[in-house]
Structure 1
């Protein structure tokens, strides 16, 4: 099976070994292309000008493997912004890739329903150091045994240097040469599908990286000064020339889903996308994706959106084009505050009534649904209580929440074991799709630091800027941040962030891994059969705001949580449940007359049939055959 996404950008090869090259360069009056022949000769040819700033040229004897650059009218040589591969990085030539040369073997794969999502976020370079895309394949069975159903790759678009988070990418269509060639990434997607695993990709449409982006030189209309972002000029989505800009990013989404057969995308920081059009960019992108992929595939779109704009999210079985889910930062912040007591920065919005806010997240999605945010000094969010639990991706850790800390501290360093065990059970057994960050499942204590590999002045600016940023934090105000905060450009910073798989031979790490496996097995066995039908929850906080009870209903069934998220035992009323027969309990409730004593950091989960008062257990599950003969729960 061959897969290729046809688009108006970049290059496209023909059967006669000729290649059509196209570039939108509205600031240029003339343009040429420089390319290598199959014999390795370097040649150049003029490009023909068309309307609306487009240039094109068809070159004979310039097929797969040929290198090329565009030559501007001032002599500057620039790579293709829609390059499918940059073998020598962001400043080198682009390579002609023929997508149809890869023979896919996963024609049976249609994806998995979103309700089945258990997501594992990973950085390809740190997850499998030095082995890249192929190294991730070697660890897929670990994810399968853990209970994961989807791996989410941090951005892989070509970024500067030999190490980067991926959010500094300058070539959105080119999978990073750091981790392998394009076909290696396709092998990863195929190997995951053969094991019944979905593959999601984090994509960045809100800015280009600060190094290797040449668009300003020939297509300044890609950007606008009318809006600003934390990374400088905003992407032009609603001004002159914005039609081409929108198409560039929409085709990028279609490209990853088609040419790489990925199962979904997570759109980074869409609150930094400014667009007054109707429909706006996000609505148009979702509509185009749904039109392309149709109903035969399960393709998922997820947002990161600090605005908590619930109107982008699909409501239950709503068929309108929309997004399956949003990363729920509110839930993370509530959990983090309960675990660590930290209330600086954006955590201050959750310092009061943190347990109630967590209950609201579990039951209704967002903690902030239009209320005033003291940290932002404005109202934030939209009503989300009409949306299903599946619309909110829950997590205790991710690349941002660890890596944006000065020293990349994980919760395994910041919080004791008992509170982490309690909150982990909430993360993995609540109806919202859970997300784990690589190494979390065995409680690695290795940090995940911000790292990059910029040149000269930019490297200095990033290092000094990060140290200046954290110098205002109380824990660093009295010291020398150059001695306390790692240099993002130092190779040692990257190396410290890489997983050490030998830790899995140690008993404590084995214990944590078994705990995660146990909880995810319970999720697949008991929660998954009723998950798609569960309605929004209801939450109550009892015992002077120290005890949380949440339940979700599906007909006669109730999925319920009881939780004491405090350091002291609490007497509670179980409200009609059978507290001595939970599906799971982090520690045991003790009878106390007509009530129950909940130990510190207690959580217990129940699947209860309201018709006859008995907990439902061992619901049979169908199995679906995957392409390699393995079976996965459905």
Structure 2
């Protein structure tokens, strides 16, 4: 059986709920009508009712607890309130012939919909990003969550778009507009846990969760159970089919802990959408190359690239950066030539990863900043506050001209100094717990070891914390825009046409914080880059081919060069 309301014909809607624990479930409408649902095998309840689009409904469990539909497409009044009957076929698409773009053409910009003013606010910036050369935007999770402000990873109704962002049709209009501009649009989805405010599943379907496993955010989802597995796979299919997203980024799949589920989900998506270019990307701390083979997932977020680059740029070595502080130059060389840095070595808490040198370079999404790496800092600082601009420009050149798929974070392109802070909209005891927990999280950092200093960490629930996270152009916005535009144009002209099946050849250590690397490209040419983020001059390899880009004096600190050998 499928989750969520299904149109039978006309106004006839079939309502379903998987509720294996209670004896009785009623379907309630906002006009005080209540209908007892029929119990079917395996814990499903079902009933057909003739109701128009816009009808508000909910379920009452064992004549006591009223709950929203866990597969609601839209809410009215928040995640504790009424679900709304929608018509998924009502929107009239203007870009119906869109089939997507090849993965190797992706230059991704990650963004937070709420911080940019909702779906309508994001739509207003599409032409700006297209003119920069961005070919794909990636939305942080938009499933409905408690309150009006959230990163999205505290979602509890993953089928419903967040009310504070807009309606389902306004989201479709955003996707439609992006496609009309030739841009892909991807969505970050969370299938490893639910947020703490408004998750009622455990009240009537305790077996939705695996009582033997836990995640950092609470009980693990029991994807071995059929209804649970269908809940998430059907959600993925909904975003790709009903909303026509071009791809999905699956959050922290290592916390799901079931590769069979991942394989089944990828296979079903590929089978049901063979005529579209759908791109599936994992976040996976396990550095598992087996999921990145042809026909499965296109790529994985390469946290290794970010972590080692952050150490090289800032010198920070606390928390997870400690695993990249011992010989980061050698680690960067391995990352460029082979993809993953950790390929089975001890990462500080046991072995992590497997060999990845056999994978295409485009199997890795690289970034210097993203929501996690900025927002999980106590004060949400961007790299412009943590390193000097000259070295940052060299790092940006590496990001945009190496064969791994590049991803920017909103505001990067304008040299924004705005922080991206952790924000929520919880109340009462939960608000206190999140605020205090956030501050205690940084107690082991030297800068926040003093309790009074920790009080300076912004309150996640205060509206000002959210408002401060909207990216504002920096004082050198024009120069940064020009810099990014030039590099992205070079990528589209010289790298992208040669990118499919490109693989690393080797990399060399040139000196402290200085490396060179080579890749064999699709046309048989060789791409070479050289980078120096150190304090001393080094000798770059001789650029015998066509110079694509050079920054600074070759081999001097904060210098970069890229060239093609035909």
Give the TM bin, normalised by the shorter chain.
over 0.9
Alignment of 1:528-567 (within 5 A): 528-543=496-511, 545-554=512-521, 556-567=524-535
Task: State the alpha-carbon separation in 1 of the partners of residues 389 and 454 from structure 2.
Answer: 32
- Secondary structure (helix, strand or coil) at the match of 2:465 reads helix
Q: Does 1:249 align with 2:216?
A: no
Aligned-partner Cα distance in 2 for 1:443–1:559 = 28
Contact 2:300 2:363 in 1 (8 A): yes
Q: Shift of the alpha carbon at 1:387?
A: 0.2
Deviations 1:41-62 (A, max 9, x none): 33111111111111111112x1
Partner residue in 1 for 2:140 = 154
1:68 to 39, 57, 64: 57
Change in 2 beyond 3 A, CA 1:49/1:567: same
Q: 1:445 aligns with which of 417, 420, 424?
A: 417
Q: Does 1:325 align with 2:315?
A: no
Give the superposed CA RMSD.
Answer: 1.4
Q: Distance in 2 between matches of 1:99 and 1:542?
A: 57
5 Å matches for 1:500-579?
500=472, 503=473, 506=475, 508-543=476-511, 545-554=512-521, 556-570=524-538, 572=539, 574-575=541-542, 577-578=543-544
- Tell me how far 1:15 sits from its aligned partner: 3.0
| Alpha-carbon distance, 1:75 to partner | 1.8
Where 1:191 maps in the other structure, the secondary structure is: helix
Residues 105-504 of structure 1: pairs in structure 2 closer than 5 A: 105-126=94-115, 128-129=116-117, 132-238=118-224, 242-275=225-258, 280-294=260-274, 296-314=275-293, 318=294, 321-374=295-348, 376=349, 378-500=350-472, 503=473
CA distance in 2 between counterparts of 1:542 and 1:160 reads 51
**Structure 2 residue matching 1:338: 3-state secondary structure:** helix
How far 1:496 sits from its partner (Å)?
Answer: 0.6
How many angstroms apart in 1 are the aligned matches of 2:552 and 2:184? 34
Change (3 A) 1:546 1:50: closer
Moved more, 477-486 or 102-111: 477-486
What's the CA shift for 1:11? 0.6
Instruction: Tell me whether 1:47 sits opposite 2:26 in the alignment.
Output: no
Larger Rg: 1
Contact 1:237 1:274 in 2 (8 A): no
Preserved CA contact (<8 Å) 1:270 1:304: yes
Partner Cα distance (1:173, 1:522) in 2: 39
Following TM superposition, by how much is the alpha carbon of 1:546 offset from its aligned partner in structure 2, in angstroms?
Answer: 4.5
CA distance, structure 1, for counterparts of residue 289 and residue 513 of structure 2:
29
- C-alpha separation in 1, matches of 2:211 and 2:24: 26
**Residue in 2 aligned with 1:31?**
25
Structure 1 position 228, deviation (Å): 0.9
Q: Name which of structure 1's ranges 419-428 and 561-570 shifts more when overlaid on structure 2.
A: 561-570
Q: CA deviation at 1:534?
A: 1.9
Instruction: Report what 1:607 is aligned to.
Output: 564
Note the C-alpha offset of 1:362.
1.1
Counterparts of 1:179 and 1:573 in 2: how far apart (Å)? 49
**Structure-2 residue corresponding to 1:630:** none
Number of the residue aligned with 1:583: 548
- CA deviation map 1:570-598 (0-9, x unaligned): 2x2525x338x621111133xxxxxxxx2
- Find 2:47's aligned residue among 57, 60, 78: 57
Unaligned runs of 5+ in 1: 1-6, 590-597, 610-634
CA offsets 1:289-309 (integer angstroms, 9 cap, x no match): 101111x21001000001111
Runs of 4+ in 1 over 4 A off after TM superposition: none
* Separation (CA, whole Å) in 2 of partners of 1:512 and 1:172: 36
Deviation of the 1:310 alpha carbon:
1.1
Give a deviation string over 1:577-629, Cα, whole Å, max 9, x none. 338x621111133xxxxxxxx211110000121xxxxxxxxxxxxxxxxxxxx
Q: How far did residue 223 of structure 1 move? A: 0.5
Q: Is the 8 A contact 1:200 1:265 kept in 2?
A: yes
What does residue 71 of structure 2 align with?
Answer: 82
Q: Is the 8 A contact 2:443 2:454 kept in 1?
A: no
Mapped to 1, the partners of 2:491 and 2:375 lie a distance apart of 28
Q: Distance in 1 between matches of 2:265 and 2:364?
A: 20
Which of 13, 22, 26 is residue 19 of structure 1 equivalent to?
A: 13
Task: After TM superposition, give the deviation of residue 479 of structure 1 in Å.
Answer: 4.5
> Does the Cα contact within 8 Å between 2:328 and 2:513 map onto a contact in 1?
no
Match of 1:622 in 2: none
Q: Is the 8 A contact 1:402 1:410 kept in 2?
A: yes
The 1-side partners of 2:385 and 2:169 are apart by: 38
SS at match of 2:24: coil
TM normalised by structure 2 equals: 0.98
CA distance in 2, matches of 1:235, 1:547: 44
The structural deviation recorded for 1:250 is 0.5
